Each structure stands twice: as C-alpha cells, then as structure tokens.
C-alpha cells in the first residue's frame, strides 16, 4: 500500500483528492494549517494532522516515511483575497521550498505542486475574447502580482529540483476549480460559488438584485472539481512533469455565468455592477492542447452541469445552517 502525504488537505481540492485516493487504496497522511473542525472534508481512515507547512520542521515531520507527496498547501482564494493579500500569498513560497527540501532528504518518489493560471503573463490577458493560454505563455514573465509570482517561482523550484536532484516533480496550472464542499462566503470564495450564494440569498430574501464585481464582461473558464481530480491523478501517475494546464476551454463572461445560475435557480436578478471592486485580468482561458496530447484527457462536465451541482450543494448547506 503506497503511503502519500497530502498537504492543504483541509482545503477544497485537497479534500476531494483524498476522497479519490482512498478509493484507490492509498495510505494517507493529511495536513492543513486549519484546526480539524474547520477542514472542508475530513476522513476517519486518514492520519489527519493540523500543521503549519510553511515551517521547515513540520515539512520534514510530515514527509518522513512517505512514498509520494501532493502539495496543495498555500494561501489563496478568489480575486478579492489575492489582490488584497499579496504578501500573505507570497509567503506560501516557504511551503513549496521546505517541502522540496524534505522530499530530497527522504528520497520521495513523486512530488506534485499545485500551480495556477495566475502564473500566466497578464499582458496577454487584457482582452475578454482571449484565445486559450498555452503553457509557453507564462514567459516572458509578468504573472498576477503576489499570488502569481509565488506560483511561477514555485514552478521554477520544482524544475530545478528535477534537473539537479532527479526528484520526479509534477506541476499543474489550475484554471478556476469549483464545485461542492468548498467555501462560498467569508472572502476567499471564487466567482462560481460567490454568485451561487448571492442568487440564493436574493431568492431567500426576496431581493431581485445582486452585486457583481466589475462590469461582468470579464471572461474565464471554470473546471468542475471531479474533472480536476481526474486530470490531477492522471498527471501524477504519468511520466510527464509539466507545467501543464488543468482547466476547461469553455470560456464565459461573468454575465453569461450569472444567466446559467439564474436558469438553474429559476430566479432572475438585476445586477449592481461594482467597478471599484477587484476584477483581475479581463480575459483568461485554458488551452488544453498539451494535456489532450500527452494524457488523452478532456473535461466530462459542462459549466452548466457543474454549476447545477454546485448551486444545489450550496443551497442545501445554507438552508442547513439557517435551521441550526
């Protein structure tokens, strides 16, 4: 039975990954900086530990005795969080640095680093009708300030640990992952969850207006969590190292995504555009040519299908909390 360490295990993607790894009969050690009660998903059959992985000693403690490491730990959130917490996001470089050192020391077989589409050159993302971003488009470097620079630097660290020490690194650039069992309020939520929450609230409170950051014309592609887990483990089990896009090519504007959620909720709303709020780049989309070629992978869920599942989960959770 392979032993695997998953850091950031109390987070959104980390929890879903562990669920699938359990199905594959891994023996799992899971760490997250949050107290166990605050983990989005927590599994009894896993060795769950609350640890700050920015600290070198904790990385060495967690990696000892493991075969593989999936590093999902970092400070991140939606655009509102990363634009207002650049220094905090940059400090996540300590997690990757110390984890790589621990992997080298303990001769870890495989190491996965979760990077982000925020690593891409922002000069290429000023048009809402952007074509898909290819992996080579990260250079010349001009990533999202703070969070994007941390991710790009982390990718380079992984590359050099592969070149200098032979560590089998896997690097994925995630494009806006969403789905159930994640955050939908509090400031770290991303657009799909935030908009689902706002439209649910407008319905529950009989208010037909929601706040929208920006003019709603900014575009993105969004990948449902089940597709993300599938692609992540395909890359992890492959001979390839990346960086490689894990995302969808179904590009939509924020206004178009609101229309989809309105249809799901059977609730139409007016939009209060807030032009002073963080908006990020004007357009971002994934080019999946490389992952399609190397891993024969395609997303299974459309945005509408994923939003429907996400909306229904958030609605159920909000009603549950309201009745407590």
pTM listed for this prediction = 0.94
CB 311 within 8 A of CB 265: yes
Confidence of residue 240 (pLDDT cuts 50, 70, 90): very high
Q: Tens of pLDDT along 4-63?
A: 999 999 999 999 999 999 999 999 999 999 999 999 999 999 999 999 999 999 999 999
Number of Cβ within a 10 Å radius of residue 97: 17
Minimal CA–CA distance to 7: which of 83, 82, 73, 103? 73
> What's the CA gap between 41 and 225, in Å, rounded?
14
Q: What is the CA radius of gyration of the chain?
A: 19
Indicate if 147 belongs to the active site: yes
Q: β-strand 68-71 against 177-178: which pairing, if any?
A: unpaired
Give the CA-trace dihedral at 74, 28, 69, 180, to 10 degrees.
Answer: -40
pLDDT at 244: 98
Confidence of residue 321 (pLDDT cuts 50, 70, 90): confident
Phi, psi for 47 (deg, rounded to 5):
-80, 100
- Look at the block and give the residue holding tokens 């001979």: 239
CB 192 within 8 A of CB 271: no
Q: Tens of pLDDT along 146-172?
A: 999 999 999 999 999 999 999 999 999
Minimal CA–CA distance to 231: which of 10, 15, 75, 17? 17
Domains of the chain and any CATH numbers: 3-177+224-246 (3.40.50.720), 181-220+251-283+301-322 (3.90.25.10)
* Summary count for the chain: helices (H), strands (E): 11, 13
Contacts of 104 (CB under 8 A, 6+ apart): 161, 165, 167
Confidence of residue 79 (pLDDT cuts 50, 70, 90): confident
Number of Cβ within a 10 Å radius of residue 296: 8
Question: What single-letter DSSP state applies at residue 253?
Answer: E
Confidence of residue 324 (pLDDT cuts 50, 70, 90): low
Number of Cβ within a 10 Å radius of residue 6: 29
Q: In whole numbers, what is the pLDDT of the chain averaged over residues?
A: 94
Minimal CA–CA distance to 8: which of 52, 64, 46, 45? 52
Given 26, 111, 120, 147, the catalytic residue? 147
Residue 252 has pLDDT above 60, yes or no: yes
């Amino acid at each position: 039975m392979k032993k695997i360490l998953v850091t950031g295990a109390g987070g959104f993607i980390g929890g879903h990954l562990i669920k699938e790894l359990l199905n594959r009969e891994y023996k799992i050690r899971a760490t997250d900086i949050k107290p166990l009660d605050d983990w989005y998903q927590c599994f009894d059959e896993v060795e769950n530990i609350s640890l700050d992985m920015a600290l070198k000693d904790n990385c060495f403690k967690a990696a000892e005795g493991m075969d593989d490491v999936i590093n999902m730990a970092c400070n991140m959130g939606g655009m509102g969080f990363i634009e207002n917490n650049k220094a905090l996001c940059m400090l996540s470089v300590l997690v990757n640095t110390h984890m790589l050192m621990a992997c080298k020391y303990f001769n870890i077989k495989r190491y996965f680093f979760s990077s982000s589409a925020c690593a891409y050159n922002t000069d290429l993302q000023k048009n809402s009708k952007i074509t898909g971003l290819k992996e080579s488009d990260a250079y010349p470097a001009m990533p999202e300030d703070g969070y994007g620079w941390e991710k790009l630097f982390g990718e380079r660290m992984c590359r050099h640990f592969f070149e200098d020490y032979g560590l089998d690194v896997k690097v994925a650039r995630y494009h806006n992952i969403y789905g159930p069992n994640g955050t939908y309020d509090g400031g770290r939520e991303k657009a799909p969850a935030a908009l689902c929450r706002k439209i649910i609230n407008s319905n529950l409170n009989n208010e037909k207006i929601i706040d929208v950051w920006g003019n709603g014309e900014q575009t993105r592609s969004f990948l449902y969590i089940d597709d993300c887990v599938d692609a992540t483990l395909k890359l992890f089990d492959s001979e390839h190292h990346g960086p490689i896009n894990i995302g969808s090519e179904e590009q939509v504007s924020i206004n178009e995504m609101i229309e989809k959620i309105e249809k799901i909720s059977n609730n139409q709303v007016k939009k209060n555009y807030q032009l002073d709020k963080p908006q990020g780049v004007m357009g971002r989309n994934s080019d999946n040519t490389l992952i399609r070629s190397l891993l024969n992978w395609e997303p299974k869920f459309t945005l509408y299908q994923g939003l429907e599942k996400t909306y229904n989960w958030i609605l159920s959770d909000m009603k549950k909390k309201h009745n407590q």
